[in-house]
Amino acid sequence: MDNARPIGVFDSGIGGMTVVRAIMQHLPHENIVYFGDTARVPYGPKSPQVVREYALQDTDVLLKHDVKLIVIACNTVSAVALDVVQKRAKVPVVGVIIPGAEAAVKASAKKRIGIIGTLGTIFSNAYTNAIRQIDPAVKVTGQPCPLFVPLAEEGWIDHKATELIAKEYLFPLTLEKVDTVVLGCTHYPILRKIIQKVLHSDVTLIDSGEATTVAVKKMLKDMHLENTSTQKPNLKFFVSDVPHKFMEIGEQFLGTKLGKVHRVEGFLT
């Protein structure tokens, strides 16, 4: 077993870079291969059938790179396609829903949790079901926030328009008196400051990508799959459309330079 094999991460596009960022912080010696399906993003408004099909194709890209474990960074994919990806891959697969749900239940003293995500994630009820499995007494309120994705990609992280939209979206969660909110979408950690401001400082925000990284770290340790090398890790980025925009926004999401980004051919909408 070669522990230097990379961790594979995939997402519908750029957003999964927030998860790569968390992996780089918590697991600084792991090699990473990332695939973002930039030709077909967004997945959020698409039907579960389409997302499941896309997820299998994304998985195949990573499997070609001999990954030792797959992280589904995309909440929408994790919500509706975890089972098909697990079936396809011969390696362990981790989605963001269960780690996010576990972290939220742990954090919520009042047992009142809000979930924000894409339409696909919220309508799937995946977070609600995962939370109820852990603690049936928790009251869960889901709220789709589809406009947060383009706002984050536009870099409007401190913009009045974003604050106005956040107030509109998050008002139902305030009414429900939630004490914990799951950032159930790859893009939302970028808007964390404004979301926290609108929800008030006593509400705990859970970054599902960060929670997943903690779970991955434990999993690698338990399975004796940690990379023991202390060399600078190798990071490889692949996308399905021309890489220009990915490079520009990806660096903001990742918080560091990306290096070369490669295009994978054959992904048509």
**DSSP assignment, residue 240?**
S
Instruction: Catalog residues that contact ligand DGL under the rule CB under 6 A.
Output: 11-13, 15, 41-44, 74-76, 117-118, 121, 149, 185-187
Within the chain, residue ranges assigned H as helices are 17-26, 48-63, 75-88, 97-107, 119-124, 126-134, 148-153, 160-175, 192-199, 208-222, 244-254
Residue among 117 and 233 whose Cβ is closer to ligand DGL = 117
Helix (H, G, I), strand (E, B) or coil at 184: strand
**Cβ neighbourhood burial of 99 (10 Å; 0-12, 13-18, 19+):** buried
Minimum CB separation of residue 74 from ligand DGL in Å reads 4
Minimum CB separation of residue 225 from ligand DGL in Å reads 25
Task: Return d(Cα 12, Cα 246) in angstroms, integer.
Answer: 12
Residue among 73 and 89 whose Cβ is closer to ligand DGL = 73
Minimum CB separation of residue 15 from ligand DGL in Å reads 4
Instruction: Look at residues 121, 136, 33, 27 and name the one whose alpha carbon lies nearest to residue 74.
Output: 121
Residues 204-216 as b/e (b if ≥16 CB within 10 A, e otherwise) read: bbbbbbbbbbebb
Residue among 13 and 250 whose Cβ is closer to ligand DGL = 13
Catalytically active residues, by annotation: 74, 185
Residue among 13 and 233 whose Cβ is closer to ligand DGL = 13
Nearest residue relative to ligand DGL (C-beta): 44
CB 112 within 8 A of CB 135: no
Minimum CB separation of residue 47 from ligand DGL in Å reads 13
